[in-house]
Protein backbone atom coordinates (compact mmCIF):
# COMPACT_ATOMS: atom_id res chain seq x y z
CA UNK A 1 0.00 0.00 0.00
CA UNK A 2 2.90 2.32 0.66
CA UNK A 3 4.03 1.88 -2.92
CA UNK A 4 0.72 3.22 -4.15
CA UNK A 5 1.00 6.28 -1.91
CA UNK A 6 4.63 6.79 -2.89
CA UNK A 7 3.68 6.69 -6.60
CA UNK A 8 0.82 9.13 -6.01
CA UNK A 9 3.13 11.50 -4.12
CA UNK A 10 5.79 11.22 -6.81
CA UNK A 11 3.23 11.88 -9.54
CA UNK A 12 1.94 14.97 -7.72
CA UNK A 13 5.50 16.20 -7.16
CA UNK A 14 6.20 15.79 -10.90
CA UNK A 15 3.07 17.77 -11.76
CA UNK A 16 4.04 20.50 -9.27
CA UNK A 17 7.58 20.64 -10.69
CA UNK A 18 6.15 20.97 -14.19
CA UNK A 19 3.92 23.87 -13.12
CA UNK A 20 6.85 25.50 -11.31
CA UNK A 21 9.06 25.18 -14.39
CA UNK A 22 6.35 26.63 -16.64
CA UNK A 23 5.85 29.53 -14.22
CA UNK A 24 9.57 30.22 -14.03
CA UNK A 25 9.86 30.15 -17.82
CA UNK A 26 6.96 32.60 -18.15
CA UNK A 27 8.47 34.85 -15.45
CA UNK A 28 11.80 34.86 -17.32
CA UNK A 29 10.02 35.86 -20.56
CA UNK A 30 8.32 38.74 -18.74
CA UNK A 31 11.64 39.87 -17.18
CA UNK A 32 13.40 39.72 -20.56
CA UNK A 33 10.65 41.73 -22.26
CA UNK A 34 10.67 44.31 -19.46
CA UNK A 35 14.46 44.65 -19.60
CA UNK A 36 14.28 45.15 -23.36
CA UNK A 37 11.58 47.80 -23.00
CA UNK A 38 13.57 49.65 -20.33
CA UNK A 39 16.70 49.67 -22.53
CA UNK A 40 14.69 51.03 -25.46
CA UNK A 41 13.12 53.74 -23.27
CA UNK A 42 16.50 54.79 -21.86
CA UNK A 43 18.03 54.91 -25.35
CA UNK A 44 15.13 57.04 -26.62
CA UNK A 45 15.45 59.37 -23.63
CA UNK A 46 19.19 59.77 -24.24
CA UNK A 47 18.58 60.44 -27.93
CA UNK A 48 15.95 63.07 -27.13
CA UNK A 49 18.26 64.67 -24.56
CA UNK A 50 21.09 64.90 -27.12
CA UNK A 51 18.69 66.45 -29.65
CA UNK A 52 17.53 69.04 -27.10
CA UNK A 53 21.13 69.86 -26.18
CA UNK A 54 22.04 70.32 -29.84
CA UNK A 55 18.99 72.50 -30.44
CA UNK A 56 19.89 74.62 -27.42
CA UNK A 57 23.47 75.03 -28.60
CA UNK A 58 22.26 75.98 -32.08
CA UNK A 59 19.93 78.61 -30.59
CA UNK A 60 22.78 79.90 -28.40
CA UNK A 61 25.06 80.27 -31.42
CA UNK A 62 22.29 82.00 -33.37
CA UNK A 63 21.75 84.50 -30.55
CA UNK A 64 25.49 85.17 -30.32
CA UNK A 65 25.71 85.67 -34.07
CA UNK A 66 22.82 88.13 -34.02
CA UNK A 67 24.26 89.97 -31.04
CA UNK A 68 27.84 90.28 -32.23
CA UNK A 69 27.63 90.16 -36.01
CA UNK A 70 27.29 93.88 -36.74
CA UNK A 71 29.70 96.02 -38.77
CA UNK A 72 30.41 98.30 -35.80
CA UNK A 73 31.36 95.41 -33.55
CA UNK A 74 33.40 93.75 -36.29
CA UNK A 75 35.34 97.01 -36.79
CA UNK A 76 35.96 97.28 -33.05
CA UNK A 77 37.20 93.68 -32.71
CA UNK A 78 39.42 94.05 -35.81
CA UNK A 79 40.87 97.26 -34.33
CA UNK A 80 41.45 95.59 -30.97
CA UNK A 81 43.04 92.52 -32.60
CA UNK A 82 45.42 94.73 -34.66
CA UNK A 83 46.29 96.84 -31.62
CA UNK A 84 47.10 93.80 -29.52
CA UNK A 85 49.25 92.32 -32.28
CA UNK A 86 51.23 95.54 -32.54
CA UNK A 87 51.62 96.10 -28.80
CA UNK A 88 50.44 93.12 -26.73
CA UNK A 89 49.14 93.69 -23.23
CA UNK A 90 50.55 91.59 -20.41
CA UNK A 91 48.12 88.78 -19.72
CA UNK A 92 46.43 88.99 -23.14
CA UNK A 93 46.21 85.76 -25.08
CA UNK A 94 45.20 85.82 -28.74
CA UNK A 95 44.16 82.47 -30.17
CA UNK A 96 41.90 81.33 -32.99
CA UNK A 97 40.62 84.84 -33.57
CA UNK A 98 39.55 85.36 -29.95
CA UNK A 99 41.06 87.75 -27.47
CA UNK A 100 41.20 86.57 -23.87
CA UNK A 101 42.26 89.09 -21.26
CA UNK A 102 43.57 87.54 -18.06
CA UNK A 103 44.88 89.07 -14.88
CA UNK A 104 42.96 92.30 -15.43
CA UNK A 105 40.06 91.51 -13.18
Which range has highest mean pLDDT (3-12, 38-47, 87-96)?
Answer: 38-47
Whether 74 is in a domain gets the answer: yes
Q: Tens digit of pLDDT for each residue in 73-83?
A: 777 777 777 77
In a domain, 8, yes or no: no
3-class DSSP state of 98: strand
Distance CA 83, CA 58 (A): 32
Residue 104 within a domain: yes
Overall domain count for the chain: 1
The answer for 97, left when phi > 0, alpha when psi is -120 to 50, beta otherwise, is left
Judge whether 23 lies within some domain.
Answer: no
Does the residue 11 lie in any domain?
no
Which is more confidently placed, 104 or 45?
45
Supply the pTM of this predicted model: 0.52
The three-class DSSP label of residue 93 is strand
How many CB atoms are located within 10 Å of the residue 73 CB?
Answer: 11
Domain-embedded: residue 14: no
Q: Is residue 32 part of a domain?
A: no
Amino acid sequence: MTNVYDRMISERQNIAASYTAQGEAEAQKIRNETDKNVKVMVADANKNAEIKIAEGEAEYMKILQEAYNTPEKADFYNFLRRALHERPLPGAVISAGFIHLRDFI
